[in-house]
Amino acid sequence: MLVSDLRKEFYDVIKGKRILVLVHSDIDGICASKILQSLFRADHILYTVVPVKTRSDLVSAFEQHREQARYFLLLNCGGCLDLVDVLSPPEDVKIFVADNHRPLDVCNIYNGDQVRILSQLGEDEEVPAFEDVFREEESEDEDEDSDEEDGKRRRFDEETLERRRARRQWHQQRHKIIFDYTQFSYYGSSTAMLMFDLAWKLSKDNNELLWWAIVGVTEGQVFERTEQDRCVLATGTLQGHVSRLNHQTQDSQPLDCLRITFEKELKLALYRHWSLVESMRHSLYASTTLKLWTLRGEKRLQELLAEMGLPLVQCRQLYSGMDVNLRQDLRSLLEEKSEKYGLPDLLFPSFSASRGFRIKVGSADYVYSAAALLEPPQKDITPTAAALDVADCLAVGREEVLERGIEGSKQQLSAIYRQVQTFLDMNQVISAGPFLYATVIQGTPDAWFFSAPHCLTLLARFTLRAHVSVSRGRKSGALPLVLTSPDVRAAQPDTCLVCGIPPTSEDSRRNFFGKAFEQAAEKTASRAELEFFDTNIIRLSVDDRSKFFDALISLLS
């Protein structure tokens, strides 16, 4: 059941009750849960928040807590599963779902009362009509009964045959419709944004909540999950909220409150906390466009910096140590030169937060930091503890956690950069026909980083962009990439993570690998775990890798 009025049909329902919130460990989900938590606190709604990472986590968390509460809320997880089937909840339990993963399972959408979907469907999302997917179960039973009778009596009159044929046709049709619907996995609008809208309607919005919504939306932007146009729309809406909540003059507010500004931001990773050269080298857009891992690219970079009139000494030291005048002009200087060097999208509209006299932090910086905290390089931090770290990092006044995340993110990005360079130098990106293919070799020192979904996806995107930018043939731009990496984080040995991303030439960020992986695994009976909520990543047994890829090639070609 789709819920349209969140306030009446969700918030008023759970008021005064206990609610259990299961949050997927991604930044958007955690932001959404933080917004909700502050709403719940204001209304004395008792809650329990449990972070989940995989499908089995979701099921076991539900099993453990099912006695506690009658109301469950799933944030960014579960929308794509048939919840009633997977969780088999008791009759009186209501499950609310706010998920940014698409497509949503049709069973959830057409569930009568138990499963209620809070996410709003976009205009471009077409859900199959009810009558195309579901049919009266009873009539089928009757049919079966009569089939048996038919079998006994051996009577094949025209009417029964006709009915059977119609049913077969309908099933074929249904299969096709469902396949078309679930073929691509993609992301809808941000859940944090949805929850902020709820807060706004309850007149409980403030800068802090707004900032979480911004970080949630920025995640979709930075990791290129949400469609471009949807990002632009969301940014527009957020800008309205920002100017509404920050219209007071600076004098009337206390100094150490959170202040959000809307401005054009450089598409460089963490440049405020790094040196300019390092940041350019490690950010996907600038690095792949200028091909910074080659000698020529290095020269181009020096040329660019020289043309901007930035001394190399200044660019190589931390941004915060750069000359103030240079820092002020940096953005306009880069904007002037961006066209010439083929970096037209170097600036994008974004938000930044500042508190007191501390350094300004952009929303993208928060996302990088949180993503690094989510997949920590330390081996003793459990995924659930990491999710709590992220929640801490987003809280106002916990700058030390944020800084830890930023340092972690630098390590992560450096590892990605090194790995991409290895891929290209050793020509390890191989064309398998319908897709490109690369493998992080077992025993790579940085493998620990790449055995986590976010980082792996980032590596895949970086690799594909870099490969396309250096390869001569036009064709490579139209090919998707499949990347595998040994899963050293997993408990059982000899597994690897497989991640597929769509080709660079396509504007749409829809990803068909989820379905393809599922089918390939099914066909070859590989030992694969389709555990992640981001379906374009699966865990696969190393022994089954070759037959899995053979199946994938034949499936896609």
Partner 1 sequence: MLSEKALELIKELDRSKDGKLPAFNEDIIRKVLEEMNTLFQQNQRDVGEAAAGEIRYFPSIHLRHAALDRNKRCLLAYLYNRLERIRAMRWEFGSILPADIRANLCEPETQWFNRYNKNLASYMRSLGEAGGLDLTQDTKPPKNLYVEVRCLRDYGEWEVEEGDTVVLQKDTTHYLPLAACHHLIRQGVLEQVE
Question: Which residues of the shown chain bind partner 1 in the complex (CB under 8 A)?
Answer: 18, 37, 40-41, 44-51, 64-65, 67-68, 382, 384-385, 387-388, 391, 395, 397
Nearer to partner 1, 127 or 388 (CB): 388
CA atoms within 13 A on the CB side of 454: 25
* Phi-psi group of 396: left, alpha or beta (phi > 0 → left; psi -120 to 50 → alpha; rest → beta): beta
Nearer to partner 1, 48 or 88 (CB): 48
Beta bridge partners of 497: 485, 539
> How far lies 509's CA from each of 184, 210, 281, 310, 337, in Å?
9, 26, 25, 36, 29
Nearer to partner 1, 48 or 508 (CB): 48
CB 509 within 8 A of CB 223: no
What would the 3-class secondary structure string for 467-492 be?
Answer: HHHHCCCCHHHHCCEEEEEECCCCCC
Nearer to partner 1, 257 or 542 (CB): 257
SS3 (DSSP) at 234: helix
**Least CB distance to partner 1 at residue 379 (A):** 17
CB 501 within 8 A of CB 466: no
What would the 3-class secondary structure string for 518-535 be?
Answer: HHHHHHHCCCEECCECCC
**Least CB distance to partner 1 at residue 52 (A):** 11
Nearer to partner 1, 95 or 424 (CB): 95
Nearer to partner 1, 54 or 283 (CB): 54
**Least CB distance to partner 1 at residue 44 (A):** 6
**Least CB distance to partner 1 at residue 19 (A):** 9
Distance CA 508, CA 224 (A): 10
**Least CB distance to partner 1 at residue 195 (A):** 16
Nearer to partner 1, 356 or 473 (CB): 356
CB 67 within 8 A of CB 90: no
Nearer to partner 1, 3 or 388 (CB): 388
Nearer to partner 1, 53 or 225 (CB): 53
**Least CB distance to partner 1 at residue 45 (A):** 7
Nearest to 229 by CA among 3, 521, 508: 508
SS3 (DSSP) at 309: coil
Distance CA 155, CA 397 (A): 79
**Least CB distance to partner 1 at residue 77 (A):** 15
Distance CA 553, CA 434 (A): 6
The count of other CB atoms within 10 Å of the CB of residue 505 is: 12
**Least CB distance to partner 1 at residue 10 (A):** 18
Angle at 275 between CA 353 and CA 445, to 5 degrees: 105
Nearer to partner 1, 88 or 382 (CB): 382
User: Which amino acid is located at 72 in the chain?
Assistant: F
> How far lies 80's CA from each of 49, 74, 97, 181, 510, in Å?
21, 11, 10, 12, 15
**Least CB distance to partner 1 at residue 388 (A):** 6
CB 320 within 8 A of CB 299: no
**Least CB distance to partner 1 at residue 40 (A):** 6
**Least CB distance to partner 1 at residue 70 (A):** 11
DSSP, res 122: P
Strands (E), 329-431: 347-355, 361-362, 430-431
**Least CB distance to partner 1 at residue 375 (A):** 16
CB 481 within 8 A of CB 465: no
Distance CA 498, CA 552 (A): 12
Nearer to partner 1, 45 or 217 (CB): 45
Nearer to partner 1, 383 or 434 (CB): 383
